[in-house]
Amino acid sequence: MYDHLTLLSGRAHPQLAGEIAEYLGVRLASVELSNFPDGEISLKLNQNVRGRDVFIVQPTSPPVNDNLMELLILMDACRRASAERITAVIPYFGYARQDRKDSGRVPITSKLVANLINEAGADRVLAMDLHAAQIQGFFDTPVDHLYAAPILDRYFRSLNIPDKDLVVVSPDEGSIKRTLQHNNNIGGTLAIVDKRRKNALETQQANIIGGPIEGKVALLFDDMISTGGSIVGAVNVVKEHGAREIYVSASHAVFCGPAIKLLSEAPIKEIVVTNSLPIPDQDKLSNLRTISIAPLLGEAIRRIHRNESVSHLFD
C-alpha cells in the first residue's frame, strides 16, 4: 500500500511523527540532523527518496525560526534527491497571525513564509487549524486544511454533560464562527465574551452576550493559547457571571510567556488541547489533557498518497 511513501521528521516534534508512522504502519525515514558550532543546521538523508512520495512532519513551533529553517532545508534536500512529490505536514503554522497589513509599514509575514515553503520545494501543504483560513490562498500549491474540532467535540460529548447545563462560550467576537460549529456539534446554549483590546499586549474582557451563564458548565474554545491572557480573561468573566465549572480547549498549546502561571491560577477545571506542538514537561499543568491528532494526520496522509478525498474526513 505504501511502496512509494516516505515519512520523515525534523526535530520540532518527533513524537508526533512517530505516532503518525505507527498509525500508517511505516517506519520513519532516517535523517541526520545536527548544528554546526555557529548554529547552522546540518542535514543528511540516510535513505533513497528518488521517485518517492515524501511527507515531512515539522510544525513551525517555538523556536519558530529554527524549526521553519529546518523544514526548508529538509524540503530542499528531498527535492535535490529527486523526490517525486514533497508534502509539508505543518500541524502548527507559525507567523499565522501576521496575515494582513493592519497598519502602515508592516509586513505580511505569513505570506512571506508561504513563499519560502513553496520555493524550498513543497508540492503541497497539509496544515491544521490555521489562525486565518485565507492563509491557504497564500500558497501557490494545494493546501489540505484539517480541523481538530471533531476530535475535541468527541471528547466533550463523552463527558455526558446534560444539554440544559451546558453553555459554549466564544472568548471573543473573532471566534464566533468556530464556537458556533462547536455549539452545533456538542449542544447547549451559546454565549460570547465582549473583548476590547487596550494595546498590542493587553486585552480587557467586560461583558457577556447571550447565555445564560449562571450555574452552567462553560466550554471555551480558541484556536491557540499563546500567552494565555485572552483566554484567562474570558475565563474570569465567565466565572464572575456564575459558571459552575469551566473547561478550556484549543487546537494549539503554544504556552509562551506567562501562560503557565496564568492558566495554573485561573478557575479552570480542565484544559483540553491537541499534540500539534510538543509540550515540555515543565509546562504541563495538573489539569491539562492532551488529545492526539496522529490518527487524523495519518489518515489525511494516507488519502493524499492514494489520491483520495481528504475533505471526506469531515463529511
Residue 98 among known ligand-binding residues = yes
Given a contact cutoff of 8 angstroms between Cβ atoms, the answer to whether 166 and 188 are in contact is yes
Nearest to 87 by CA among 147, 127, 132, 146: 127
Residue 119 among known ligand-binding residues = no
Q: Measured between alpha carbons, how far is 181 from 187 in angstroms, rounded to an integer? A: 10
Beta-ladder partners of 166: 217
Residue 105 among known ligand-binding residues = no
Residue 52 among known ligand-binding residues = no
101, 195, 216, 269: the catalytic one is: 195
Active site residue 195: yes
Nearest to 272 by CA among 154, 161, 173, 95: 154
Residue 241 among known ligand-binding residues = no
Q: How many helices (H) and strands (E) does the chain have?
A: 8, 14
Backbone angles phi, psi at 19, to 5 degrees: -65, -40
Residue with cell string 492558566: 263
Residue 25 among known ligand-binding residues = no
Neighbours of 187 (CB within 10 A): 16
The sheet with strand 270-274 has its strands ordered as 203-210, 189-197, 166-170, 217-225, 245-253, 270-274, 288-291
Residue 50 among known ligand-binding residues = no
Q: What is the largest CA-CA distance in the chain?
A: 61
Type of residue at 161 = I
Give the E-state strand segments of the chain in sequence order.
Answer: 5-9, 31-35, 41-45, 53-57, 85-90, 124-128, 143-146, 166-170, 189-197, 203-210, 217-225, 245-253, 270-274, 288-291
Residue 157 among known ligand-binding residues = no
Nearest to 57 by CA among 106, 8, 92: 8
Residue 38 among known ligand-binding residues = yes
Binding-site positions for ATP: 38-40, 97-98
Binding-site positions for D-ribose 5-phosphate: 197, 222
Binding-site positions for Mg(2+): 131, 172
Active centre residues (catalytic): 195
Binding-site positions: 38-40, 97-98, 131, 172, 197, 222
